[in-house]
Amino acid sequence: MYTQAWQLAEGNVSCPSGLGANIGASIGVKEEDKERFEKLYDLGARTFCIDVAHGHHILVKKMLEWIESFKALRKLQDPLEKLTIIAGNIATPEAYNDLCDWGADVVKVGIGPGSACATRKNTGVGIPQLYALEMINDALIHHPQPASIIADGGLVHVGDIAKALKFADAVMLGSMFSGTAESPGHVFRNEQNEFYKVYGGSASGENKGENKFVEGVMKTVKFKGKVKYIVREIEDGLRSTFSYVGVDNLIAFQTKCEFIHISDASRTESKI
């Protein structure tokens, strides 16, 4: 759907009636992003992600305020006109509370946990992902108008997704889907006659389009085939997770699941 949203922004396709809410597009916090937002909205997009590395920022607040003024100006009341605004990334309860107050419907959590992210290495800034999710989930419980939480980054195995969903409503996956037929980029062959694709962080020089200070890297990943097989593995894994915990839905899982601290020997035994 993000590819379709990009085509919408370029004016290459029109949005089928009723599908706007299912099309997501990323925007930034610059003046030109306001024009991009309006163009995408007029073409049918209804879900927007203010996608910046540092989500707890005055420019994010100003963009959220501008979107609120846009909604008031357009007098959006029809259900098909309803906007869903995602903002991030953040890693503290203070940031979560502010984004909720500023008007975000969904908040992305994660500073530096992604496999292609170099933020913690290059800046020394970041909070362990599971700890950040736990603190922010506590803030969600106490906020009068809580935003949903997306766990973004640090998810390598299906078990990581299960742990993140203890505190999050959804997860954002990068490396797990990299190398699939549906992911961006071309398939190449290396010297070992293996097929691969190139995967990179959003803050890498290649994705930023300039070689100034970067907080992401590019790397090669083996070609994995169609993404449906990975999605099927995730679905089967989560069903098994729920069965072990003794639940049949996410809310029950979040209520019943408990975390315990384990030793290094336990980690070795667990193969994590």
Domain annotation covers residue 197: yes
In this prediction the pTM is 0.83
- Average pLDDT across each block of 10 residues of the chain; the chain has 272 residues. List them in order: 40 46 87 96 93 95 96 71 91 97 97 83 89 95 96 94 97 92 91 88 52 66 94 97 96 94 91 84
Are the CB atoms for 169 and 146 separated by under 8 Å? no
Domain annotation covers residue 125: no
Q: Cα–Cα distance between 266 and 6 in angstroms, integer?
A: 46
Domain annotation covers residue 190: yes
Give the length of the chain: 272
Domain annotation covers residue 214: yes
Domain annotation covers residue 134: no
The tokens 């069965």 sit on which residue?
Answer: 243
Integer-rounded Cα Rg, in Å, for the chain is 20
Q: Which DSSP category does 171 fall into?
A: E
Give the CA angle between residues 32, 35, 40 to the nearest 5°: 125
Residue 64, both tokens:
């959220």
Burial class (CB in 10 A: 0-12, 13-18, 19+), 69: exposed
**Element counts in the chain: helices (H) and strands (E):** 11, 9
Q: Cα–Cα distance between 70 and 85 in angstroms, integer?
A: 13
Domain annotation covers residue 195: yes
Q: Cα–Cα distance between 185 and 187 in angstroms, integer?
A: 7
Domain annotation covers residue 189: yes
> How many domains in the chain?
1
Domain annotation covers residue 220: yes
Domain residues for the domain of 212 are 177-225
Active site residues: 117, 119
Q: Is the dihedral of CA 68, 73, 79, 82 positive or negative?
A: negative
